[in-house]
Structure 1
Amino acid sequence: MFHRLRRFFCPDLAIDLGTANTLVSVQGEGIVLNEPSVVALEKGTRRVLGKGTAVGKLAKQMLGRTP
C-alpha cells in the first residue's frame, strides 16, 4: 500500500502547515514561500474572498475589518 501512495509524494518538496505561517521548501533552493496561515472569508456566506486571492499576507491585512 505504501508503495502505491509513494508515487504521489515528491521528496524534493516540503510543506509545513504551521499555525502562524505556511512554509514551502524546495530541495536545493530552501524556503520558497513563507506566508501567514490566514484566509479571508465573506461574512454571512463564509466563502473565500476574491476567488481565493485573499489568503496569506493580504488576508492578514484584512484582520478585524468587515468588507
Structure 2
Amino acid sequence: MTQNSFVRTIEDLVETVRVIARLFKTDKVFIIGSQSILLSWPDAPIVLRTSGEIDAYPENAKIWEIQ
C-alpha cells in the first residue's frame, strides 16, 4: 500500500495481522472495525474499504499490558 492510499486490500489486512502476531508473539489477532469487512468480502466496494487505519489487537493484549 502506498503512503497516500487509504483504500485497503486483503493484502494490507494479512500484513497487519502478521506484524501484530510477530510483535506480540501470538497466533491469534482480532480484526475489529470497518476493515473487518475484508475478511468476508475482499473485493468490497472502494467506499467500504477506505480507511486510514486497520483496527486490530492481539489475543494476549491483557497479558502484554500487565508485563
Specify the TM-score bucket, using the shorter chain as the normaliser: under 0.3
TM-score (norm 1): 0.26
Rg larger in 1 or in 2? Answer: 1
Which structure has greater helix proportion?
2
Which structure has greater strand proportion?
1
TM-score (norm 2): 0.26
User: Which structure is higher in RCO with an 8 Å CA cutoff and minimum separation 6?
Assistant: 2
